[in-house]
Amino acid sequence: MKDQYRETDVVRNILDIQFGVLSAQDMQQLSHAHIVSSELYNSAAGGSRQPASHGVLDRRMGTSQKDLTCETCAKNLTDCIGHYGYLDLARPVYHVGYFKNTIHILQNICKTCAHVLLKPKDKGSLCEQAKRINSYLQKKALYKRINELCKKISLCAYCGAQNGTVKKLPPLKIVHERFKTVKKGDPILTNYFSQFDTALEYNKELEAQLSSNVVEFLNPSQVLDLFERIPLADLPLLCMDQQFSHPKDLILTRLLVPPNCIRPSVISELKSGTLVDT
Ligand SMILES: [Zn+2]
Ligand SMILES: [Zn+2]
């Protein structure tokens, strides 16, 4: 259920603060407009242009003009606090701020079944430790230890799939060297290459490509699919609490559109102003 607009001039006591990652659902809850139109203005007859409904200048996100009122709270420019909108991305994208965390999680999980790579007997005690400790530094140290342990495991204990090194490639690409630890001539590699037999018959040039190191590029859609499949019981091992954040929230599928009144000024040679309803 979406909260209706609430007055902000209510006195509240802040008892504690909990940080988390905004989920796509949270962004929708925070917003007052769903942005689906790429139009800025409706071309109205008579020359007076109006912000396009469901566009980024929609007045439900507030106004930037002195003589107009906000369509959400009906207040003017001075009193309206501004309201967010949201827009859905056509495809998931990596969040630049969470990119490092995304790579760390990928190093810790199986790139086939999404379970944390640790053996079942190790998971129990590490999970207990993760739940017990509260200090940031202790959590960071435990997270590092789990990451080091996972990086050493190449065969998944849950689905038997081969896992290798996960690395960042500039600017924002992720590569998985699945067979990094497998020796040449191993049946796993022979099986893997056999799927290219028909392709090789028709395209000899592929041979050169296949003989070099086999790498898989992980695109944001694949990573999102993996993160969605991480078992909830494994989340403490990634130092995440499902109540406040989930690994899938690290991949962006939706963006918050800032209120009109907080958008930055854009200086141009012709005129200066804000990128808002002018
Ligand atoms: Zn308002
Ligand atoms: Zn697996």
Give the pLDDT of residue 6: 64
Beta bridge partners of 159: none
Please state the rounded mean pLDDT for residues 110-124.
Answer: 94
Answer positive or negative: Cα dihedral of 15, 19, 25, 30. Answer: positive
| Distance from residue 175's CA to the centre of ligand 2 (Å) | 18
Measured CA to CA, the distance from residue 4 to residue 95 in angstroms comes to: 29
| Distance from residue 83's CA to the centre of ligand 2 (Å) | 43
pLDDT-based confidence at residue 5 (cuts at 50, 70, 90): low
Measured CA to CA, the distance from residue 46 to residue 131 in angstroms comes to: 65
What's the pLDDT tens digit per position in 37-54? 988 888 766 667 788 889
Instruction: Check if the beta carbon of residue 124 is closer than 8 Å to that of residue 246.
Output: no
At position 137, the amino acid (one-letter code) is: L
pLDDT-based confidence at residue 2 (cuts at 50, 70, 90): low
What's the pLDDT tens digit per position in 142-170? 999 999 999 999 999 999 999 999 999 99
Mean pLDDT of the chain: 87
Answer positive or negative: Cα dihedral of 241, 242, 247, 249. Answer: negative
| Distance from residue 117's CA to the centre of ligand 2 (Å) | 7
Measured CA to CA, the distance from residue 98 to residue 161 in angstroms comes to: 27
Locate the DSSP E strands across the chain.
31-34, 41-42, 50-51, 84-94, 165-169, 173-177, 216-218, 251-257, 265-267, 272-274
Q: Are strands 41-42 and 50-51 parallel, antiparallel or unpaired?
A: antiparallel
Does position 8 have pLDDT exceeding 70, yes or no?
A: no
- What ligand is nearest to the CA atom of residue 110? 2
Measured CA to CA, the distance from residue 234 to residue 114 in angstroms comes to: 10
Torsion, Cα of 196, 199, 205, 210 (10° steps): -10
What's the pLDDT tens digit per position in 202-223? 888 877 777 666 788 999 999 9
Beta bridge partners of 41: 51
The pTM score is 0.83
| Distance from residue 16's CA to the centre of ligand 1 (Å) | 27
Q: Which of 75, 79, 84 is nearest to 56 (CA)?
A: 84
Measured CA to CA, the distance from residue 190 to residue 187 in angstroms comes to: 5
| Distance from residue 155's CA to the centre of ligand 2 (Å) | 8
Give the pLDDT of residue 278: 44
